[in-house]
Structure 1
Amino acid sequence: MTKDQLLPDEIIANKIYYIRGQKVMLDRDLAELYGVETKRLKEQVKRNANRFPERFMFELTKDENDALRSHFATLKQGEHSKYLPFVFTEHGILMLANVLKSETAVEVSIRIIDIFVKLRETFADQTEIWLQIERLKGKLDNQDKNMEIVFRYLDELSERIQKPPEVVPRKRIGYKSDDL
C-alpha cells in the first residue's frame, strides 16, 4: 500500500483552515502527517527562522487560537499545548519539508501542495460559475423589463379591442343642401 492510499485527500483537506485571509495548516496537524512530534517540528522552524517569513508561517494570536479551539468540542482548556500554534501557508509547508529532511515529510508535502492546488482550481471553477450566473441574472432582468413593456402594450391593445372608441358623428364639410 502506498502513502497515497494510506492518507486520503479528504483527511488532509479537512486540516486546512482559512485564517487571516489565507489557507493554512496547523503545526500539530503537519507534525502528525509528517510523523514527528510537534515540539521537534517547532524546534526545526526556530532553528531555520530565516526560511519562514510572515507570508510562509505565523503564530496564532490567543483570540485566533481560542476561536479555532471552539470548533473542536473535544478539546479541553489546558489539555493540549500551552504554546500558541504556528500555522503554515502553502509555501511554508514546502519549506518545512526542506528543513525536516525526511522522506515522509517530502512525500506528504507534495500531497499537501497537490491538494492546495486542487482547492485553488475548485475555487476558480466556482468563481467562474458564479460570474456566469450573475451574467445570466443581468440578462434575465433586462428580459423581465422588456417582457413587462410587451405585456403593458398588450394590455392597452386588449382594452382598445374590448372597448372600441366612441364614434362621434362627423360634421359634414362643404355645401349643405338642407340649409337652403
Structure 2
Amino acid sequence: MSEGSVRFDSDALQQRILALRGERVMVDSDLAELYGVEARVLNQAVKRNAERFPVDFSFVLTKEEKQEVITKCDHLQRLKFSPHLPRVFTEHGAIMVASVLNSPRAVEMSVFVVRAFVRLRQVLVEHPDLAERLDELEARVARHDNTLSTLVATIRQMATAPTAPSRQIGFVVDPLEKKE
C-alpha cells in the first residue's frame, strides 16, 4: 500500500474512530470516504448483505447518540441536518464492508483501518490509567452538570418569586376613628 494512495494519515484516521456503547466505531460517512464511495452506496451494500453485519459489527445510532457525535466531532456537522440516523461500524464491521464493496481501494483501506484500530488499542494498553482518568473526568463533568442545573433552577425560582406587596406611603386614616 503506497502512502500516496491513502487519503487519511494514521493520526487523522484515529481521530475518526469514536467510542460508543463500549465499542470503538467509525461513522458510515467517514468509512465511505475512506473507501472512496458515497455513504449511500456503502449503506446500500450493507442492507443487501445484512446477514454479514450483526449488531457487534454495525449498528444505527439513536437520536441522542447522533446529537452527541455531532457535538463532539466538528467534521460530522453535516449530519446535523440529515433526517437519517447514521450507521457506525466496529473494527470487524469495517473489514466486512471492504469485503462487501470488494473494490481494490476498499481492500487496501481495510488494512489501513485495521492498523489504526490496533494502534489505538495499543495506546490504551500502554496507558491503562488513561481510560480510568477519562471515566473520572466524565463523572466529574456529570456532577458539575447536575450542580449547574440546580443552580440555574434556583436562580430562575428567585427571579420569578412573588414580591411582597408595597406598603402604602402616607397617613392612614382609621375609618372607625371619630371626627371632631
TM range (shorter): 0.5 to 0.7
Contact conserved, 2:59 with 2:89, CA < 8 A, in 1? yes
Query: Distance in 1 between the 2:101 and 2:79 partners?
Result: 30
Query: Distance in 1 between the 2:117 and 2:30 partners?
Result: 15
Query: Distance in 2 between the 1:58 and 1:85 partners?
Result: 9
The structure number with the bigger radius of gyration is 1
Q: CA deviation at 1:100?
A: 0.3
Query: Distance in 2 between the 1:88 and 1:100 partners?
Result: 14
Distance 1:128 1:68, change over 3 A: closer
Distance 1:55 1:76, change over 3 A: closer
- Taking the TM superposition and a 5 Å limit, the aligned residue runs for 1:17-166 are 17-72=18-73, 75=77, 79=81, 81-127=82-128
Paired AA for residue 64 in structure 2: D
Q: CA deviation at 1:71?
A: 2.2
Distance 1:77 1:87, change over 3 A: closer
Distance 1:43 1:35, change over 3 A: same
Query: Distance in 1 between the 2:78 and 2:105 partners?
Result: 30
If the length of structure 2 is used for normalisation, what is the TM-score? 0.65
Q: CA deviation at 1:11?
A: 1.4
Query: Distance in 2 between the 1:7 and 1:45 partners?
Result: 23
Query: Distance in 2 between the 1:119 and 1:78 partners?
Result: 27
Distance 1:3 1:101, change over 3 A: farther
Distance 1:70 1:53, change over 3 A: same
SS of the aligned residue for 1:82 comes to coil
Contact conserved, 2:7 with 2:34, CA < 8 A, in 1? no
RMSD over equivalenced CA pairs, Å = 2.5
Aligned to 1:13: 14
Unaligned runs of 5+ in 2: 132-180
Query: Distance in 2 between the 1:129 and 1:69 partners?
Result: 24
Query: Distance in 2 between the 1:73 and 1:129 partners?
Result: 23
Query: Distance in 2 between the 1:129 and 1:87 partners?
Result: 24
SS of the aligned residue for 1:70 comes to helix
Aligned to 2:156: none
Q: CA deviation at 1:119?
A: 1.1
If the length of structure 1 is used for normalisation, what is the TM-score? 0.65
